[in-house]
Amino acid sequence: MSIAAYIREIGRGREGARALSREQASDLLGQVLDGRVSDLEIGAFCIAMRIKGETPEEMAGFLDATHARLSRVPASGPVVVLPSYNGARRLPVLTPLLAFLLARGGAAVLVHGTPTEDARIPARSVFEALGLPIDAAPAALEAGQVRFVPTEQLHEGLHRLLAVRRQVGLRNPAHSLVKLMNPAAAPALVVGSYTHPEYAASMTATFRLTGGRAMLLRGTEGEPVADARRTPRMDLFRDGEVRCVQPAQEGPLTALPDAPATAAADETARWIERVLQGRVPVPTPIALQVEHILRELATP
C-alpha cells in the first residue's frame, strides 16, 4: 500500500482518523525507514501521527519494522538497554551514572541515542567527558561493559526520522519507538522512560502487547534514570505482564549532596566520578533502580 493511502487514513484529524493495523503500521514505517518516500510525505506522516496519536498496535508495528532493519549490536548474554534521547535541560543527565553502576553489578549495558534538541546537553557528551569511546566496534558486548552506540549506526533512516523534529518542531513516532526498541542481538531488558502521564499509559500498553522485558518509570527530564531527588514509581514487564516493584516516593524533592553547579557535561562527569569512587553517596532513587534491574536480570 502506498504511503499516500496510509496518510489518507491517519490524516483525517483526531476525531476522523482511522487506526492502522499492526501489519499496516509496519509497512508504512518500513517505507519511511527505507527512504522510499519524499520529504513532503515524511512531513505529512509526522504531522498526521502527532495529531492522531499512536495506538499500541501501531507502535508495535513500528517496532516490528524497526527491529527488522536495525544493525543489531552483538552481545554474549542478556543486555540492559538504556535509550538516551532527551539529555539535560536544567538537571545533570545521570544516565551515565546508571550505566556504570549497572555494569559494576555485572550487567552488559547498551546505551543508544542521538541529540534531538540543540538546547539540551546529551548523555553522549557526559560519556565522552568520562572517557568512554563512542563505539563503532563489532565485538560482542560483554557482562560488566558499557557501550554507547549512536542511532545513526543502528539505522540511518531512523536517525533521519528523529531529525525531522528540528525542521517541524514536533516529536513524531520515532521519539517513542526508540524508547521501546531493543537494538541488541540478544535478549534485553529495555529501560523505558516518560515525561507525561499519557505516555506512561501508551508505553505500558505497548510493552504488554509486545511481551518484552522492560522497566518503565518517569525519568529525569525524559532520560531513563530515576530522578535523584525523589524516587519515582517503577514497573517491570515480562511476557505481557506488569508489576510495580517500587512505589512512588511521597513528599518534597531532596537535594543532591555536593551537586553539580550546572548541567554542563564536564561538571556532571566529575560528579559522577566522585560517586563511583565512593566520595559521594549514590542517590537512593538510582540505587533502588539499579537494585531492581539487577534482580530482574538474575531472575530466570
DSSP per residue, the chain: --HHHHHHHH-SHHHH--PPPHHHHHHHHHHHHTT-S-HHHHHHHHHHHHHH---HHHHHHHHHHHHHH--PEEBSS-EEEEE--S-BSSS---HHHHHHHHHHTT-EEEEEE----TTSB-HHHHHHHTTPPBP---SPB-TT-EEEEEHHHH-HHHHHHHHHHHHHSS--HHHHHTTT---EES-EEEEEEESSHHHHHHHHHHHHHHT-EEEEEE-BTTBSS--TTSPPPEEEEETTEEEEEEPPPPSPPPPPTT--SS--HHHHHHHHHHHHTTSSPPPHHHHHHHHHHHHHHT--
The per-residue pLDDT for range 149-170, each reduced to its tens digit, is: 999 999 999 999 999 988 777 8
Which of residues 107 and 4 earns the better pLDDT score? 107
pLDDT of residue 170: 80
Mean model confidence pLDDT for the chain: 93
**What are the phi and psi torsion angles at 73 (to 5°)?**
-90, 120
Three cell numbers written together for 197: 502521564
Is 43:3 a contact under the CB 8 Å cutoff? no
User: What CATH homologous superfamily does 3-69 map to?
Assistant: Transferase, Pyrimidine Nucleoside Phosphorylase; Chain C (1.20.970.10)
The span from the CA of 87 to the CA of 99, in Å, is 15
Is 7:45 a contact under the CB 8 Å cutoff? yes
Which of residues 191 and 89 earns the better pLDDT score? 191
Percent with pLDDT over 70 in the chain: 99
pLDDT of residue 217: 98
Of the listed ranges 13-27, 149-163, 272-286, the one predicted with least confidence: 13-27
Considering the chain, tell me which residue range(s) the CATH 3.40.1030.10 domain(s) occupy.
73-297
pLDDT of 257 > 90? The answer is: no
The per-residue pLDDT for range 37-47, each reduced to its tens digit, is: 999 999 999 99
Which of residues 236 and 116 earns the better pLDDT score? 236
β-pairing verdict for 188-194 and 213-218: parallel
The span from the CA of 124 to the CA of 134, in Å, is 8
- Over residues 18-24, the mean pLDDT reads 95
Architecture of domain 73-297: 3-Layer(aba) Sandwich (3.40)
C-alpha of 217 from chain center: 11
Residues near 4 by Cβ (< 8 Å), separated by ≥ 6?
A: 41
Banded model confidence at residue 35, pLDDT cuts 50, 70, 90: very high
**What are the phi and psi torsion angles at 98 (to 5°)?**
-60, -45
pLDDT of 137 > 70? The answer is: no
Length of the chain: 300
pLDDT of residue 136: 63
Considering the chain, tell me which residue range(s) the CATH 1.20.970.10 domain(s) occupy.
3-69
**What are the phi and psi torsion angles at 228 (to 5°)?**
-65, -10
pLDDT of residue 138: 64
C-alpha of 250 from chain center: 26
Is 93:123 a contact under the CB 8 Å cutoff? yes
pTM: 0.94
